Amino acid sequence: MQKENVLTRRDLLARSMGVAGAFTLGGSFIAATDAAWALEVKHLQPRTMATLVQMARDIYPHDSIGDEFYAIAVKGYDTPEQAPGIEEGIAMLDGMSGGGYLDIGWEADRNAVLRRVQDTEFFQMIRGGLVVGLYNQKEVWPIFGYEGESFSKGGYMDRGFNDINWL
Amino acid sequence: MAAPFDKSDDSVVVVIGTGAGGGVLAGELAVKGINVVALEAGGRYLPEDYVNDEWDSFAQLAWTDARTTSGNWRVSRDFSGLPAWIVKAVGGTTVHWAGASLRFQEHEFRVRSEYGNIPGANLLDWPLTLQELEPYYDRAEKNLGVTRTHGIPGLPGSNNYLVFEAGAKALGYKNVHTGRMAINSEDYDGRLACQQTGFCFQGCKWGAKWSSGYVDIPRGEATGNLEVREHAHAARIEHNSEGKVTGVTYFDKDGNEHRQRARLVCVAGNSFESPRLLLNSASAMFPDGLANSSGQVGKNYMRHMTGSVYGIFDKPVRMWRGTTMAGIVTDEARNDPSRGFVGGYEMETLALGIPFMAAFLNPGAWGREFTTALDSYENMAGMWLVGEDMPQETNQISLSPDTKDQWGLPVVNVHFSDHANDIAMRNHAYRQGKAIYEAVGATRTMPTPPYPSTHNLGTNRMSEKAHEGVVNKWGQSHDISNLFVSDGSQFTTGGAENPTLTIVALAFRQADHIAEEMSRGAL
Ligand SMILES: Cc1cc2nc3c(=O)[nH]c(=O)nc-3n(C[C@H](O)[C@H](O)[C@H](O)COP(=O)(O)OP(=O)(O)OC[C@H]3O[C@@H](n4cnc5c(N)ncnc54)[C@H](O)[C@@H]3O)c2cc1C
Ligand code: SF4
């Protein structure tokens, strides 16, 4: 992968400081600040994907869930069929934001934009997709404390089904 | 063992659907020596096939053929294509039911007399009393191995239960316990005791929870008198010029149409598919559908007053560990109109995993109000509220004018709006549920709207008089003597209790009746 195709730590930092307008990279990758994950975009503009990831986080904000999980949840839109609709939707979002959604520094202000578009098909599609796309990732379950499958471990009969001690 | 019957064999009883009603009926008729062909739209999945994963299991088991919705219930907005969350498989919805097994109260069989005339409600007394059903409740409880009945011990209480119990007792509730559950507290009927695995809604991998799919159906098959045809979707029930039913047409997995001749047909496809089948079987002789001279087929759809309350605490609960439904408060199940509504409700603990919690906690919600609740998932306790709802003629299952399924058959539209009594009851139940958790220190409580229906009742109701309902006290249609309804759609009214024990009791009673009538040559 070419260096300039990757959204770098500096870009992400810039974004988190609310000057994400500085994010001007071409190419097809966005990546984590520490390069722990990278996502190749083939059909969407990288900035569109970055905006989509931010939108996803603003819809279902969990401070202890990393960007990569939001990225995984929306990467299915990076297809020839879906990309045009997403570009259009994000363009609408940017328009409503008076320029760039990513340029809005505070979540509360981005929320105000989202509230204005929440009845659109675009918003509902993204939100609806996240319900399964985000919360059905087995890797996020431990962040919520959820233990998932238990049959192979013999259930909770001897593993704390009644271990509550504060009542 | 299981005898394949010829499709032209018109001496067999055809049972459509193999869930709580159909599965028990088919098994019991076979045990009595009667030849049965059971048609089941779904496939067969056994404990080794079930998966401890909410969405994967949903994909494996749920009925996802098209359905449409209307009315002012929120499900119609949030889950417009999924009015009910029920199973398409051998064993029907007993594969993923929770197992709560309660008898109706005496007055719940005669609510028209007890509650009087409630405007907008199409109330009717059952043509049946608790006393008449009691021996069959006994049989059903023994068949299901229901805890706290017939000397079977109760289940131990999970974390979710212990929080609920402490709160309920602090509020002064008296009837609080770990429930009457069709879940083995010790080995029973050749099946293991519950290991508190916590995926009861996904099919019990230990077989500790009763399901007709691995109890009654194999018992029937072992006699050689029962043949179950899987992936057999019944399309139409046919009749002759005397107005007696003669057989059933169905589609196999590959879309080929077959015709099974029959001496008698029992419909048990749950409260959407059973009326759909009767309506789709309309003919020149029965232009409004079979068994529908009263016009009541598909009407009076009930889904129970439901709702949930989740409470968040400052310390962990881990509600997902252990049985999905782990305990009950029955104090509010009485009829006490001074509360502002007729009928009563049960409070039963409930736990969902993170994937389903995200989907059902507050469908459509977003932002931090929603996500901070999920952030506290580990510290959450949950309960489900279930009570008697009012039958209304306008709440109904009808054939969709434009949507067809993969076989080209019109699908159902499910129309539902709450009655004022349902809303008053739900609000009361939300308040009490919240109070239970607050009594043990909840820092936040969430009144959660009804999920897609799990209890579907009343759409072919029993009545004394032929013009008021579809079937008589035996589940036999008023219009056609060799056509029976054998599932929850027979219910005249819903009671406060989870319905399955009553469906099973009615199935045993119907099996006795059919066997007697056949042996005296009346059927
Ligand atoms: C999540 C969940 C939890 C529940 N927990 C409880 C509980 O704790 N206690 C309780 O009492 N109840 C509970 N229930 C409800 C209970 O499962 C149902 O009341 C019961 O299974 C209904 O029985 P039935 O015979 O009417 O239909 P089902 O059990 O749904 O069986 C109907 C069968 O008919 C088949 N069928 C439908 N149409 C056709 C056709 N055209 N051709 C061939 N086959 C067809 C279906 O595939 C299905 O297998 C729960 C339900 C759900 C969804
Ligand atoms: S908790 Fe018990 S009944 Fe439920 S699935 Fe697990 S073993 Fe079966």
Is this prediction's ipTM beyond 0.90? Answer: yes
What residues in B contact A164, CB-CB < 8 Å? 159, 162-163, 316-318
Give the nearest ligand 1 atom to B497 CA. 11
pLDDT value of residue A37: 60
B71 lines ligand 1 (CB under 6 A): no
pTM, two decimal places: 0.94
Q: β-strands B245-251, B233-239: how paired?
A: antiparallel
Residue B384 scores a pLDDT above 50: yes
Is B162–A164 a contact, with Cβ atoms under 8 angstroms apart?
Answer: yes
Q: What is the DSSP string of A121-141?
A: HHHHHHHHHHHHHTTT-TTTH
B234 lines ligand 1 (CB under 6 A): yes
User: For B407-437, what is each residue's pLDDT tens digit?
Assistant: 999 999 999 999 999 999 999 999 999 999 9
Asked if A23 and A45 count as a contact pair (C-beta separation under 8 A), the reply is: no
Quote the ligand 1 centre to B145 CA distance (angstroms).
Answer: 19
Please, is B405 exposed, middle or buried when counting C-beta atoms within 10 Å of its C-beta (0-12, 13-18, 19+)? middle
Tell me the Ramachandran region of residue A18: left when phi exceeds 0, alpha when psi lies from -120 to 50, beta otherwise: left
As a whole number of angstroms, the longest Cα–Cα distance in chain B is 70
Structure tokens at B460: 């072919």
Mean pLDDT of chain B: 97
Q: Residue B140: nearest ligand to its CA?
A: 1
Task: Provide, rounded to the nearest whole percent, the portion of chain A with pLDDT above 90.
Answer: 74
What residues in A contact B311, CB-CB < 8 Å? none
Q: What is the DSSP string of B299-364?
A: -S-B--EEEEEEEE-SS---TTSS-SS--EE-GGGS--GGGSSSS-EEEEE----HHHHHHHSSTT
Residue A77 scores a pLDDT above 80: yes
Structure tokens at B15: 């049972």
Number of CB pairs, chain A paired with chain B, less than 8 A apart: 116
pLDDT value of residue B1: 52
Asked if B164 and B382 count as a contact pair (C-beta separation under 8 A), the reply is: no
B268 lines ligand 1 (CB under 6 A): yes
Q: How confident is the model at residue A38 (pLDDT cuts 50, 70, 90)?
A: low
Quote the ligand 2 centre to B327 CA distance (angstroms).
Answer: 14
pLDDT value of residue A32: 52
Nearest CA to ligand 2 atom 2: B194
Residue A27 scores a pLDDT above 60: no
As a whole number of angstroms, the longest Cα–Cα distance in chain A is 57
**Identity of residue A28:** S
Asked if B381 and B437 count as a contact pair (C-beta separation under 8 A), the reply is: yes
Quote the ligand 2 centre to B183 CA distance (angstroms).
Answer: 7
DSSP state of B446: E
Cβ neighbors of B470 (< 8 A, separation 6 or more) are B278, B291, B292, B294, B296, B297, B460, B461, B462, B463, B477, B478, B485
Is B159–A61 a contact, with Cβ atoms under 8 angstroms apart?
Answer: no
Asked if B493 and B276 count as a contact pair (C-beta separation under 8 A), the reply is: no
Average pLDDT on B336-352 reads 98
Average pLDDT on B264-270 reads 98
Asked if B472 and B484 count as a contact pair (C-beta separation under 8 A), the reply is: no
Q: Residue B195: nearest ligand to its CA?
A: 2
Q: How confident is the model at residue A12 (pLDDT cuts 50, 70, 90)?
A: very low
Is A62–B353 a contact, with Cβ atoms under 8 angstroms apart?
Answer: no
Q: Which range among A38-42, A161-165, B338-342 shows the weakest confidence by mean pLDDT?
A: A38-42
User: For B394-414, what is each residue's pLDDT tens digit?
Assistant: 999 999 999 999 999 999 999
